[in-house]
């Protein structure tokens, strides 16, 4: 069965999530997991991993969900495997177990996309000679950034995906970007999400916590 990651914004009130589950079930969807991405006064943003029957179109999920009052589908995209909260701790363990800085950075970029639900991850460094990608995951764009005027960073933040330094091919894929410092030098971990959705503050905070732990391990 094909799996999809559905991000929804819904009213944070009793019974609303249950109604959504019933609505998705009415089109044959099977909810495999649910994570709360963000919760604020009056609303919540949730990520649901759902299976659809063979031949079913993912648009059915949007139609079913948005028939409910107070439910908005932020994004839907193919999903390749279950994601669970403990994966973040496993990633830290895997990084710590790797031998040498280069190997640890490669583990970070290889596993971060699954944990943080992004398309790709890279570690960038800027020095007097320019900008270089120190490590990159599967799916990192072949066209590299030639500058990174936002480095150094003081904390994790969302980057402007339409800024002049962003390669045109990244913009063509409507890539949303977030980055966090990785130690005291001009080095950062960068996340890319082709086609969105936009990064939520809670996701940026998670990236910041993770990069802080990794920076400590690297030292």
pLDDT exceeds cutoff 50 at 131: yes
What are the pLDDT digits (tens) for 137-152? 999 999 999 999 999 9
Contact in structure between 188 and 180 (CB atoms under 8 Å): yes
Q: Which two tokens stand for residue 171?
A: 């913009």
The torsion defined by the Cα of 192, 194, 138 and 1, in degrees rounded to 10, comes to: 130
How do residues 10-26 score in pLDDT, each as one tens digit? 998 878 888 899 999 99
Least confident segment among 85-89, 127-131, 132-136, 152-156 = 85-89
Cβ contacts of 52-58, under 8 Å, gap ≥ 24 = 52/1, 52/2, 52/3, 52/4, 52/27, 52/28, 53/1, 53/28, 54/1, 54/2, 56/2, 56/27, 56/28, 58/2, 58/4
The CATH architecture annotation of domain 86-218 reads 2-Layer Sandwich (3.30)
- Per CATH, 3-79 and 86-218 having the same topology is answered no
Where exactly are the structural domains of the chain? 3-79, 86-218
Residue 62 · residue 73 · CB < 8 Å? yes
Residue 197 and residue 176 in contact, taking contact as beta carbons nearer than 8 Å:
yes
Domain 3-79 belongs to what topology? Alpha-Beta Plaits (3.30.70)
The tens digit of pLDDT for each residue in 184-195 reads 779 999 999 999
């Amino acid at each position: 069965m094909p799996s999809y990651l559905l991000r929804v914004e819904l009213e944070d009130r009793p019974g609303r999530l249950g109604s959504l589950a019933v609505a998705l079930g009415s089109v044959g969807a099977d909810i495999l997991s649910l994570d709360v991405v963000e919760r604020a006064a009056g609303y919540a943003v949730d990520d649901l991993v759902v299976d659809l029957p063979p031949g079913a179109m993912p648009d059915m999920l949007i139609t079913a969900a948005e028939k409910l009052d107070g439910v908005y589908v932020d994004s839907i995209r193919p999903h390749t495997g279950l994601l669970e909260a403990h994966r973040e701790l496993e990633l830290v363990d895997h990084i710590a177990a790797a031998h040498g800085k280069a190997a640890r950075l490669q583990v970070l970029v290889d596993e971060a996309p699954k944990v943080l639900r992004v398309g790709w991850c890279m570690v960038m460094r800027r020095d007097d000679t320019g900008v270089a990608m120190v490590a990159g995951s599967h799916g990192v764009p072949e066209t590299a950034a030639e500058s990174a005027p936002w480095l150094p960073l003081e904390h994790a933040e969302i980057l402007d995906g339409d800024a002049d330094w962003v390669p045109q091919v990244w913009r063509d894929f409507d890539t949303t970007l977030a980055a966090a410092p990785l130690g005291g030098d001009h080095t950062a971990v960068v996340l890319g999400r082709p086609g969105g959705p936009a990064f939520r503050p809670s996701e940026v905070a998670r990236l910041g916590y993770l990069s802080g732990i990794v920076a400590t391990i690297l030292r």
